[in-house]
């Protein structure tokens, strides 16, 4: 096991201001921004955020050393965050948060001045990639390469205007249509050429990611579209020493799945079928009502069980598993999704049982703390000189990006262990394996 002693880790000073760039100023991003502003004012608590609330054990259990993560490793203080965004609509963050209807007006009024000051920059957008949306606040250029240059300009101006020391970018824009990797995604040279030729296999989210990498900015994708999940982007990120993370925030039904499935598997219980259906009525739900955007989401949601359950190793338990995921757009529900799961399981001697879940979930409330943690941890990764795919951040994603020779790790508890051990490693602390062998051997 690599320990900090084998490789000297130096974390750069955290001082200064960190800019948070968000392509997409909708429900999730405004809930995140308004939440941070409210927490700064002491109006609410950062519930759901590991970086703000979780403790980390150091050394043996009898040492009783369990500092808060934020006291243990250098993370940017919430007061030192500044927010910037792009959107295809002109609404500022206050108006957009009101439209999204996630947070109560009373809370929004208390942070109205700061929210109103966040006005989105013109977006790189093409309706071909999000069929259900169209908006007037968009850039005009001849090809993707020109759009890329315009975004770089936006980023530099934002940094200068706000006196920022560093930046991170998180894609919080709509889910784009399903695109597969093609030859243009293979190398950096091929991708840059394709940008100049305005290639149809390139979508706007890729241009934002490319601009972030070019500017040396850590990047994460909160949606399931490719964005930065292809070899050319990995190559470019390695070259620029930029951390990358993604895809698709792990909230709601998939969060439940990755909590429950490892438990059922740990006890060697079989699963015959898992049927998941949702109703939701926000703009995300409307976008996902388009079959092409839904296909992108579906791929992301379906892969989870396959990887956790390993049917190739446990054919008697999981080979015939029937897994179905449905999302239904139902406007009256707004952002308050309801997700039902019916799970047909079997136990000793093959006897069947059923589990039913009815999760009355608030999507953006679950996603906002994920954004906060990713902002702070990606900045930490950047200051630690970690480059390329940040697998230790898989904890936050439905479809964790991963190296070509590895399968993605979906089990929430393995992901958590990996995240915390990476923090220990960065800080020069011993990694915790939970073995405790010295106890048996000493006695
Ligand atoms: N809420 C969750 O729990 C959750 C979980 C996982 C993933 N996500 C993903 O996060 C994303 C945001 O979700 P949301 O609920 O905030 O959706 P939303 O529709 O409220 O917000 C998305 C915003 O992105 C804007 N947009 C679309 N294309 C753009 C572009 N090219 N450039 C700039 N802006 C663009 C839209 O105008 C919209 O304002 C979606 O892709 C969603 O699938 C959300």
21-77 pLDDT, tens digit each: 999 999 999 999 999 999 999 999 999 999 999 999 999 888 899 999 999 999 999
Nearest partner of 187 among 128, 233, 256, 145, judged by Cα: 233
Strands 388-389 and 336-346: unpaired
> Is it the case that residue 202 has pLDDT exceeding 70?
yes
Looking at residues 269-297, what average pLDDT do you find? 89
Find the helix packing angle between 144-161 and 204-214, rounded to 10°. 50
Instruction: Give residue 120 CA to ligand 1 midpoint distance, Å.
Output: 14
Pocket test for ligand 1, best of 147, 173, 359, 360 (most atoms within 8 A of CB): 173
Q: Specify the length of the chain in residues.
A: 443
Instruction: Give residue 254 CA to ligand 1 midpoint distance, Å.
Output: 17
Instruction: Give residue 171 CA to ligand 1 midpoint distance, Å.
Output: 8
> Is it the case that residue 159 has pLDDT exceeding 70?
yes
Pocket test for ligand 1, best of 21, 22, 23, 24 (most atoms within 8 A of CB): 24
Summary mean pLDDT of the chain:
94
Looking at the chain, which residues constitute the CATH 3.30.360.10 domain(s)?
252-362
**b/e 197-217 (16+ beta carbons within 10 angstroms → b):** eebebbbbbbbbbbbbbbbeb
Instruction: Give residue 48 CA to ligand 1 midpoint distance, Å.
Output: 20
pLDDT of residue 3: 55
Instruction: Give residue 115 CA to ligand 1 midpoint distance, Å.
Output: 18
Percent of the chain residues past pLDDT 90, beyond the cut: 84
266 contacts 413 by C-beta, under 8 angstroms = no
Q: How many Å is the Cα radius of gyration of the chain? A: 22
Q: Spell out which residues line ligand 1, taking CB within 6 angstroms.
A: 23-29, 86-89, 100, 123-125, 130, 133, 135, 172-175, 204, 222-223, 248-249, 251-252, 282-284, 287, 363-364, 366-367
CA distance 61 to 53: 20
Nearest CA to ligand 1 atom 40: 174
Element (H, E) at 87: strand 81-87
378 contacts 218 by C-beta, under 8 angstroms = yes
Nearest partner of 283 among 248, 335, 205, 328, judged by Cα: 335
Alpha-carbon torsion (332, 278, 97, 139), positive or negative: negative
**b/e 42-55 (16+ beta carbons within 10 angstroms → b):** eebebebbbbbeee
Instruction: Give residue 29 CA to ligand 1 midpoint distance, Å.
Output: 8
The CA-CA-CA angle for residues 199, 204, 209, to 5°, reads 105
The CATH number of domain 18-249+365-426, selected from 1.10.3720.10, 2.30.180.10, 3.40.50.720, 2.102.10.10 = 3.40.50.720
User: Cα torsion at 340, 314, 393, 206 (round to 10°)?
Assistant: -80
Ligand 1 atom closest to the CA of 135, numbered from 1:
37
* pLDDT tens, residue by residue, 225-252: 999 999 999 999 999 999 999 999 999 8
Looking at residues 258-281, what average pLDDT do you find? 95
CA distance 173 to 203: 12
Coil, strand, or helix at residue 64? coil
Q: Which residues contact 377 (CB under 8 A, 6 or more apart)?
A: 51, 75, 393
Instruction: Give residue 130 CA to ligand 1 midpoint distance, Å.
Output: 11
* pLDDT tens, residue by residue, 74-112: 999 999 999 999 999 999 999 999 999 999 999 999 999
pLDDT of residue 258: 92
Nearest CA to ligand 1 atom 2: 363
pLDDT band at 293; cut points 50, 70, 90:
confident
pLDDT of residue 347: 98
Instruction: Give residue 125 CA to ligand 1 midpoint distance, Å.
Output: 13
pLDDT band at 2; cut points 50, 70, 90:
low
Pocket test for ligand 1, best of 284, 361, 364, 397 (most atoms within 8 A of CB): 284
257 contacts 355 by C-beta, under 8 angstroms = no
pLDDT band at 289; cut points 50, 70, 90:
confident
pLDDT of residue 440: 72
Instruction: Give residue 430 CA to ligand 1 midpoint distance, Å.
Output: 39
Nearest CA to ligand 1 atom 31: 125
CA distance 417 to 386: 18
CA distance 91 to 68: 37
N- to C-terminal Cα separation, the chain: 26
Burial of 6 per CB tally in 10 Å (0-12, 13-18, 19+)? exposed
Looking at residues 265-273, what average pLDDT do you find? 98
* pLDDT tens, residue by residue, 388-398: 999 999 999 99
pLDDT of residue 443: 56
Q: How far is CA 245 from CA 222, 283, 367, 435, in A?
A: 9, 24, 15, 30
Nearest partner of 41 among 6, 79, 70, judged by Cα: 79
Instruction: Give residue 350 CA to ligand 1 midpoint distance, Å.
Output: 43
* pLDDT tens, residue by residue, 379-434: 999 999 999 999 999 999 999 999 888 889 999 999 999 999 999 999 999 999 87
Ligand 1 atom closest to the CA of 283, numbered from 1:
19
Nearest partner of 178 among 221, 220, 227, 213, judged by Cα: 227
Ligand 1 atom closest to the CA of 96, numbered from 1:
39
Nearest CA to ligand 1 atom 18: 26
**Strand pairing partners for 186?**
none
Looking at the chain, which residues constitute the CATH 3.40.50.720 domain(s)?
18-249+365-426
Ligand 1 atom closest to the CA of 366, numbered from 1:
3
Element (H, E) at 270: strand 270-280
Nearest CA to ligand 1 atom 32: 123
Instruction: Give residue 287 CA to ligand 1 midpoint distance, Å.
Output: 9
The CATH number of domain 252-362, selected from 3.90.550.40, 2.40.50.140, 3.40.50.410, 3.30.360.10 = 3.30.360.10
Strands 219-221 and 166-171: parallel
């Amino acid at each position: 096991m690599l320990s900090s002693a084998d490789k000297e880790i130096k974390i750069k000073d955290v001082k200064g201001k960190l800019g948070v760039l968000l392509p997409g100023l909708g429900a999730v991003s405004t809930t995140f921004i308004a939440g941070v502003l409210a927490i700064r004012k002491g109006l609410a608590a950062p519930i759901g955020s590991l970086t703000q609330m979780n403790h980390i054990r150091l050394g043996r259990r009898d040492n009783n050393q369990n500092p808060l993560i934020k006291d243990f490793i250098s993370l940017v203080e919430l007061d030192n965050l500044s927010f910037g965004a792009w959107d295809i609509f002109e609404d500022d963050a206050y108006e957009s948060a009101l439209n999204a209807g996630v947070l109560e007006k009373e809370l929004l009024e208390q942070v109205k001045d700061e929210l109103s000051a966040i006005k989105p920059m013109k977006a790189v957008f093409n309706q071909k990639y999000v069929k259900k949306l169209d908006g007037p606040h968009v850039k005009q250029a001849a090809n993707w390469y020109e759009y890329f240059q315009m975004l770089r300009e936006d980023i530099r101006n934002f940094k200068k205007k706000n006196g920022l020391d560093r930046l991170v970018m998180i894609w919080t824009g709509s889910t784009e249509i399903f695109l597969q990797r093609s030859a243009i995604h293979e190398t950096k040279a091929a991708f840059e050429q394709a940008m100049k030729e305005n290639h149809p296999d390139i979508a706007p989210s890729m241009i934002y990611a490319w601009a972030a990498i070019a500017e040396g900015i850590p990047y994460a994708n909160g949606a399931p579209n490719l964005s930065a999940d292809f070899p050319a982007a990995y190559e470019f990120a390695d070259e620029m020493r930029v951390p990358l993370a993604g895809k698709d925030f792990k909230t709601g039904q998939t969060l439940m799945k990755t909590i429950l499935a490892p438990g059922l598997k740990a006890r060697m219980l079989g699963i015959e079928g898992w049927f998941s259906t949702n109703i939701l009525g926000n703009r995300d739900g409307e976008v996902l009502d388009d079959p092409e955007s839904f296909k992108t989401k579906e791929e992301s949601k379906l892969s989870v069980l396959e990887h956790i359950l390993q049917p190739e190793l446990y054919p008697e338990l999981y080979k015939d598993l029937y897994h179905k995921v449905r999302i239904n757009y139902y406007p009256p529900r707004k952002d308050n999704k309801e997700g039902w799961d019916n799970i047909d399981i079997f136990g000793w001697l093959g006897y069947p049982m059923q589990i039913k879940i009815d999760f009355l979930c608030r999507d953006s409330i679950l996603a906002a703390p994920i954004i906060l943690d990713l902002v702070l941890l990606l900045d930490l990764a950047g200051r630690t000189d970690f480059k390329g795919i940040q697998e230790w951040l898989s904890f936050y994603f439905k479809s964790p990006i991963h190296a070509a020779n590895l399968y993605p790790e979906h089990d929430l508890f393995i992901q958590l262990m990996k995240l915390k051990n990476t923090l220990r490693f960065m800080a020069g602390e011993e990694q915790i394996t939970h073995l405790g062998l010295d106890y048996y051997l000493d006695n």
